[in-house]
Amino acid sequence: MPITHAFPKEELVNRLGLVRTEMKKNNLDAILISVPENIYYLTGLDHWGYFACHVLFVPQEGNMILICRQMEQVSVERYVQNADFYGFKDFENPADFIFKAVKDSKYEDSNIGIEKNSLFLTPAIYENVISKLSKANCSNCSGLVDELRQVKSPLEIDYTRKAADAADAGALAAIEAAKDGASDRDISAEMHSAMIKAGSEYPGFGPFVRMTDRLNEEHTTWRGDTMKKGDALYIEHAGSYRRYQAPMGRLVFIGEKPSDADFASDLSNRAGEAQLKAIKPGATTGDVYQAWQDVVDAAGLPEYRRHHCGYLVGIAFPPSWVGGSMVTGLAPDSKRVLKVGMVFHTHSWLMWSGKGDYFFSNTVILTEKGAEVLTNKTPTTLIVV
């Protein structure tokens, strides 16, 4: 079969140009990238080998160099169109090869940025690299590439739409499988099957599938529990296409709804609508949170607060769908300015408020006309199965 690449060469050339412009603004002659999402953004390398050391050397001039295990050579040669390859064997020191890439490119005495906030550059390798770059002026360049990834190109938006279609397929299958006597394994199996058949790859997270006695756990998932009438079922998952994530979530009631569920559902939906109206070009992430909070306050819950009501998403590899080491949230008083092409995982979460529980979340894109919900096939209104 012919090899297909995630991104056309012209898109990769444009991205590299943007990165080099930012490097120049920050007085950087070269950068060392180890965040998998950023390596993928610049090269299109999509695999699981990044659990071991992967570093992309990006000079202001000349070829990029990808340093990783020698055994990844076949994948790199097939899928990376724009970087040279330096492969180390498992008994060799990756730092030696990183330094060789810098030295071969004649940047060993330059201003070099290093992604210090990466989960994938271990302290041991970092310290070894720094010791070898004794002639260089090294600084932290974390966030430089991440910022450029926040606004999506038309191709990236198309990939996100495909991921959202798969996410909806998974949600609908999970809800169809939810019933008295079914297990959370059944739910997860049906969700996975439907998403994959709809075109999804492996997502960055989850799915998270939990029932009533485990609703307040954050990042845990199925374990073989059996549902019964009166339970609540929490599902949160993401479709993934070309590594672009489309997360969503729903709260479903089995057999019957609690007496206060209608209030919580209505409030969650009204707060969610206010949130969508606030997502517009020029607004801030804090404005979006405040629009959501104002509706909750007006409903008689002024003490109820969340740490955020969503966050930006895009490219992501496990262990999360947030796309790196940090969550860029729609958080109280946050000042990030919203731009057309940004994609969000929005939450309208009303749990443990004392006035009922409800939750839904969606993937939302900011267009010239405002917020557009991409995961729009699964209802946000009260679901009882």
Pull the structure tokens for residue 131: 């010791």
- Residue 228: partners with Cβ closer than 8 Å, 6 or more residues away: 180, 181, 254, 255
Task: Give residue 342's pLDDT.
Answer: 98
CB-CB neighbours of 240 under 10 Å: 28
- Exposure string (b/e) for 350-369, b if CB count within 10 Å is 16 or more? bbebeebbbbbbbbbbbeee
Whole-angstrom Cα distance, residue 184 to residue 155? 35
Chain segment 238-295, per-residue pLDDT in tens: 999 999 999 999 999 999 999 999 999 999 999 999 999 999 999 999 999 999 999 9
Whole-angstrom Cα distance, residue 285 to residue 143? 17
Task: Give residue 3's pLDDT.
Answer: 79
Chain segment 13-30, per-residue pLDDT in tens: 999 999 999 999 999 999
Average pLDDT of the residues in 320-345: 92
Give percent of the chain with pLDDT exceeding 70.
Answer: 100
Give percent of the chain with pLDDT exceeding 90.
Answer: 93
- Exposure string (b/e) for 162-179, b if CB count within 10 Å is 16 or more? bbbbbbbbbbbbbbebbb
Task: Kindly write down the DSSP assignment for every residue of 119-139, as one continuous string.
Answer: TTS-HHHHHHHHHHTTTSEEE
Average pLDDT of the residues in 220-230: 94
Measured over the CA atoms of residue 202, residue 204, residue 43 and residue 346, the dihedral's sign is positive
- Residue 4: partners with Cβ closer than 8 Å, 6 or more residues away: none
Whole-angstrom Cα distance, residue 303 to residue 62? 56
Reported confidence tier of residue 205, pLDDT bands at 50, 70, 90? confident
Whole-angstrom Cα distance, residue 286 to residue 284? 5
Average pLDDT of the residues in 314-334: 90
Pull the structure tokens for residue 195: 């998403």
Half-sphere exposure of 329 (CA within 13 A, CB side): 14
Task: Give residue 218's pLDDT.
Answer: 87
Mean per-residue pLDDT over the chain, rounded: 96
Reported confidence tier of residue 203, pLDDT bands at 50, 70, 90? very high
Pull the structure tokens for residue 175: 């809800």
∠ Cα 63 56 239 (to 5°): 120
Query: The pTM is what?
Result: 0.96
Chain segment 182-197, per-residue pLDDT in tens: 999 999 999 999 999 9
Chain segment 54-94, per-residue pLDDT in tens: 999 999 999 999 999 999 999 999 999 999 999 999 999 99
Task: Give residue 109's pLDDT.
Answer: 96
- Tell me if 31 sits within 8 A of 58, measured CB to CB: yes
Task: Give residue 39's pLDDT.
Answer: 98
- Tell me if 249 sits within 8 A of 234, measured CB to CB: yes
CA distances for 11 relative to 41, 52, 110, 245, 302, angstroms? 10, 27, 28, 19, 47
Whole-angstrom Cα distance, residue 120 to residue 310? 25
- Per-residue pLDDT for 1 more than 80? no
Measured over the CA atoms of residue 81, residue 84, residue 89 and residue 91, the dihedral's sign is negative
Whole-angstrom Cα distance, residue 349 to residue 174? 20
- Tell me if 374 sits within 8 A of 364, measured CB to CB: yes
- Per-residue pLDDT for 2 more than 80? no
